[in-house]
């Protein structure tokens, strides 16, 4: 069925004729500019920058998506809330998706990350990494501030609200309130849950003068020690049916299964404070940002074909260099990129691990985005050749991000920057398909809805409002740009053969179509 309304609905309906009078001047303006619109390229030469998509948040720390869900972005607030950004309307849902009630957000604690089960569409399961008060558990040298807990939740019958009851998957005691790691995510290669765990704090983690046994170089301790590691769990199994606090199975391909004096859950070791990690959704490669001590910050890499067991070398090494006389081992897995401490354009003091871009812009495929929280520097590199291609992109992104703490993705691969100060920004790329106002990779009816919602905005409009030509106004010219590219995508911007495209044969038909869209009911019922 044509997306245009029937002609009689325009000329025989007083309501429609009223709309005709209201948009008459817009149509004339569109007619005058018609020839200009016809020359618009399908690739939009927009600026490389940031769009603030959410503000006024309470210490946002992470953002992610549910598999297959192109309509929503889930934003984690450190104090315990998971909120939903409606990507179609650009508004935050009034009600939280989830509120974790017992969060201990002291120092570096809090609700730190969120991961949806790969089969979320069918089983409704998702997982959080959170620090919770443990009642003052005492270790050898003092009280523990809290424990790290991985919990499983399910969505309710309302897709915008989760059930509040959790099932504990696994937990461990933290000796101090810093270096918790805190990221979780599912590998697209094996569908197992990966967990980054920091070394538990205490500066330098020396082998002597340790206040607790947990602080004796935990990254190189393998028996009963989850700190300074990456853990890998199968959340679809249960190897501990008699233990209500351990609801997972250990993949039998984990590298330390069956190894004497080693913990089966360990996948990799030798990390200090792995702050943010990600899987490349196309290749399955694993990227890990690890915060350094005195001199170096690093980005670590694990190929999708890895069988685990990588040792990233902390604390005998910091980045590519020895740490306080440590001896580098040939078996260590070196970072693919490291940088020094300072305030220069290629320096910083606290790395934020990033993501590999796999969004709608074909020119950025395989580009890794990362940053530094302290220096607020932003960088990219080619994921196939990191050290030789790193570039500072501060001038492209501009000012506005005061405290970057993570990068997020939506279902179609757009990249977001989370600012602990209360904002979430979408990275705007150099190539946007004209008419793809919601940046979902396709020029479709959802973009028309966005244009329609902002139609007649004069001054101050931006591309995502429906302002295709970026003149500050949302008008008939922008509709024509959408119409010209309807059915296209970032990878194939030309209109596909056989697609039912709203392509008027004359200016009169265009006026009819535009009028119908301005006046049509939200449900698009024919009049």
Structure letter (DSSP) for residue 390: -
Whether the per-residue pLDDT at 10 is higher than 70: the answer is no
pLDDT in tens, 169-206: 999 999 999 999 999 999 999 999 999 999 998 777 55
| Tokens of residue 317, six digits | 């090494």
Residue 471 lies in a domain: yes
The pTM (predicted TM-score) of the whole model is: 0.81
What is residue 41's predicted lDDT score, i.e. its pLDDT?
A: 36
Residue 419 lies in a domain: no
Residue 365 lies in a domain: no
Query: Does 310 lie in the same domain as 349?
Result: yes
Q: Helix, strand or coil for residue 190?
A: coil
CA-to-CA distance for 480 and 484, rounded, in angstroms?
6
What is residue 465's predicted lDDT score, i.e. its pLDDT?
A: 87
CA-to-CA distance for 505 and 499, rounded, in angstroms?
16
Query: Does 297 lie in the same domain as 186?
Result: yes
Mean pLDDT of 44-73: 87
What does R_g of the chain's alpha carbons equal in angstroms? 26
Query: Does 141 lie in the same domain as 185?
Result: yes
CA-to-CA distance for 430 and 363, rounded, in angstroms?
8
DSSP of 408-447? EE-TT--EEEEETTTEEEEEEPSEEETT-TT-SSB-SHHH
Range among 2-6, 36-40, 321-325 rated most confident: 321-325
pLDDT in tens, 446-505: 888 888 899 889 888 887 888 887 788 998 888 887 887 787 665 544 333 334 444 433
Mark out the alpha helices in 190-304 (DSSP H runs): none
Answer yes or no: are the C-beta atoms of 414 and 407 closer than 8 Å. no
Phi and psi dihedrals of 452, rounded to 5?
A: -65, -40
CA-to-CA distance for 303 and 506, rounded, in angstroms?
55
Residue 414 lies in a domain: no
CA-to-CA distance for 100 and 86, rounded, in angstroms?
21
Answer yes or no: are the C-beta atoms of 412 and 440 closer than 8 Å. yes
Q: How far from 365 is each of 113, 272, 413, 419, CA to CA, in Å?
A: 25, 30, 10, 24
CA-to-CA distance for 78 and 272, rounded, in angstroms?
21
Region of residue 261 (phi > 0: left; psi between -120 and 50: alpha; otherwise: beta) = left
CA-to-CA distance for 292 and 218, rounded, in angstroms?
15
Contacts of 278 (CB under 8 A, 6+ apart): 185, 286, 287, 353, 354, 355, 356, 407, 409
Whether the per-residue pLDDT at 27 is higher than 70: the answer is no
Structure letter (DSSP) for residue 4: S
Answer yes or no: are the C-beta atoms of 71 and 59 closer than 8 Å. no
Residue 113 lies in a domain: yes
Instruction: Of 48-62, 199-213, 242-256, 398-412, give the lowest mean pLDDT range.
Output: 199-213
Mean pLDDT of the chain: 83
Specify the DSSP element, H or E, that contains 120. helix 120-123
What is residue 143's predicted lDDT score, i.e. its pLDDT?
A: 86
Q: Measured in Å, how far apart are the chain's first and last C-alpha atoms?
A: 14
Q: Which of 328, 360, 392 is the last residue of a domain?
A: 360
Mean pLDDT of 136-153: 88
Contacts of 473 (CB under 8 A, 6+ apart): 457, 458, 459, 461, 467
pLDDT in tens, 268-300: 999 999 999 999 999 999 999 999 999 999 999
CA-to-CA distance for 490 and 432, rounded, in angstroms?
7
Query: Does 81 lie in the same domain as 33?
Result: no
Query: Does 210 lie in the same domain as 153?
Result: yes
| Tokens of residue 122, six digits | 């069918």
Instruction: Order across the sheet with 193-197: list the strands.
Output: 184-186, 193-197, 229-233, 266-269
What is residue 430's predicted lDDT score, i.e. its pLDDT?
A: 67
CA-to-CA distance for 496 and 475, rounded, in angstroms?
26
Q: Helix, strand or coil for residue 28?
A: helix
Q: From the centroid of its chain, how far is CA 69? A: 13
Q: Which of 306, 338, 360 is the last residue of a domain?
A: 360
* Omega before residue 193 within 30° of 0, cis: no
Residue 65 lies in a domain: no
Four-point Cα dihedral 413, 419, 422, 425, nearest 10: -40
Share of the chain above pLDDT 70, in %: 80
Domain enclosing residue 506, as ranges: 8-46+440-519
Query: Does 252 lie in the same domain as 330?
Result: yes
| Tokens of residue 257, six digits | 């299964």
Q: From the centroid of its chain, how far is CA 43? A: 24
Query: Does 456 lie in the same domain as 352?
Result: no
User: Which residues share a beta bridge with 147?
Assistant: 132, 173
pLDDT top residue among 456 and 212 = 456
As for how many domains the chain has, the answer is: 2
- CA triplet 237, 239, 244: central angle to 5 degrees? 95
pLDDT top residue among 499 and 387 = 387
Whether the per-residue pLDDT at 226 is higher than 60: the answer is yes
Query: Does 447 lie in the same domain as 339?
Result: no
Q: Which of 329, 345, 360 is the last residue of a domain?
A: 360
Share of the chain above pLDDT 90, in %: 62
What is residue 32's predicted lDDT score, i.e. its pLDDT?
A: 35
Residue 141 lies in a domain: yes
pLDDT top residue among 267 and 216 = 267
Give the CATH number of the domain where residue 133 resides.
2.120.10.30
What is residue 140's predicted lDDT score, i.e. its pLDDT?
A: 65
Whether the per-residue pLDDT at 212 is higher than 70: the answer is no
| Tokens of residue 224, six digits | 């009963």
Q: From the centroid of its chain, how far is CA 440? A: 14
| Tokens of residue 245, six digits | 């606090």
Query: Does 19 lie in the same domain as 93?
Result: no
Q: How far from 173 is each of 107, 194, 330, CA to CA, in Å?
A: 16, 18, 32
pLDDT in tens, 407-445: 999 999 999 999 999 999 999 886 667 788 887 778 888
CA-to-CA distance for 225 and 235, rounded, in angstroms?
20
Query: Does 308 lie in the same domain as 174?
Result: yes
Q: Are strands 111-116 and 125-132 parallel, antiparallel or unpaired?
A: antiparallel
Q: Helix, strand or coil for residue 119?
A: coil
Answer yes or no: are the C-beta atoms of 44 and 431 closer than 8 Å. yes
Residue 382 lies in a domain: no
Residues 95-128: b if buried by 16+ CB within 10 A, e if exposed? ebbbbbeebbbeebbbbbbbbbbbebeeebbbbb
Specify the DSSP element, H or E, that contains 479. helix 476-485
Extended strands (E) in 133-251:
146-154, 167-174, 184-186, 193-197, 229-233
What is residue 205's predicted lDDT score, i.e. its pLDDT?
A: 58
Query: Does 336 lie in the same domain as 236?
Result: yes
pLDDT in tens, 332-374: 999 999 999 999 999 999 999 999 999 888 888 999 999 999 9
Query: Does 132 lie in the same domain as 27?
Result: no
């Amino acid at each position: 069925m044509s997306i245009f309304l029937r002609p009689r609905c325009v000329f025989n309906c007083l309501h429609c004729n009223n709309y005709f009078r209201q948009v008459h001047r817009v149509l004339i303006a569109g007619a005058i500019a018609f020839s200009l619109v016809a020359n618009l390229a399908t690739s939009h030469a927009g600026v490389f920058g940031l769009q603030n998509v959410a503000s006024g948040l309470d210490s946002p720390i992470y953002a992610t998506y549910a598999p297959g869900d192109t309509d929503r972005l889930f934003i984690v607030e450190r104090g315990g809330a998971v909120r939903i950004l409606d990507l179609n309307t650009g508004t935050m849902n009034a009600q939280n998706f989830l509120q974790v009630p017992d969060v201990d957000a002291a120092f570096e604690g809090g609700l730190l990350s969120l991961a949806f089960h790969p089969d979320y569409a069918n089983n409704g399961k998702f997982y959080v990494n959170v620090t919770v008060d443990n009642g003052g558990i005492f270790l050898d040298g003092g009280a523990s501030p809290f424990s790290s807990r991985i919990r499983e939740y399910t969505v309710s019958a309302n897709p915008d609200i989760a059930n509040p009851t959790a099932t504990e998957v696994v937990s461990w005691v933290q000796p101090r309130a810093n270096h918790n790691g805190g990221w979780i995510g599912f590998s697209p290669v094996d569908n197992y849950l990966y967990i980054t765990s920091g070394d538990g704090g205490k500066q330098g983690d020396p082998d002597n003068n340790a206040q607790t046994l947990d602080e004796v170089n935990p990254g190189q301790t393998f028996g009963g020690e989850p700190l300074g590691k990456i853990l890998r769990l199968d959340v679809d199994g249960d190897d501990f049916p008699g233990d209500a606090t351990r609801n997972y199975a250990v993949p039998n391909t984990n590298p330390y299964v069956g190894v004497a004096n080693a913990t089966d859950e360990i996948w990799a070791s030798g990390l200090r404070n792995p702050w943010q990690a990600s899987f490349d959704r196309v290749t399955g490669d694993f990227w890990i940002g690890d915060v350094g001590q005195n001199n170096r910050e690093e980005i670590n890499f694990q190929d999708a074909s890895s069988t685990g067991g990588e040792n990233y070398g902390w604390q005998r090494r910091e980045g590519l260099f020895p740490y306080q006389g440590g001896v580098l081992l040939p078996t260590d897995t070196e970072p693919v990129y490291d940088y020094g401490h300072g305030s220069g354009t290629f320096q910083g003091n606290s790395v934020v691990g990033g993501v590999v871009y796999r969004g709608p812009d074909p020119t950025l495929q395989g580009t890794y985005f990362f940053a530094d929280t302290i220096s607020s520097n932003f960088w990219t590199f080619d994921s196939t050749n990191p050290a030789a291609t790193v570039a500072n992109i501060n001038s492209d992104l501009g000012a506005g991000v005061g405290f970057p703490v993570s990068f997020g993705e939506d279902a179609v691969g757009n990249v977001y920057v989370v600012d602990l100060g209360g904002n979430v920004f979408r990275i705007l790329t150099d190539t946007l398909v004209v008419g793809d106002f919601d940046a979902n990779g396709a020029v479709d009816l959802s973009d028309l809805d966005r244009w329609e919602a902002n139609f007649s905005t004069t001054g101050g409009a931006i591309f995502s409002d429906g302002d295709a030509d970026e003149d500050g106004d949302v008008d008939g010219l922008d509709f024509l740009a959408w119409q010209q590219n309807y059915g296209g995508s970032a990878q194939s911007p030309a209109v596909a053969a056989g697609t039912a495209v709203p392509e008027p044969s004359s200016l009169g038909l265009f006026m009819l179509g535009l009028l119908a869209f301005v006046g049509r009911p939200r449900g698009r019922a024919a009049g």
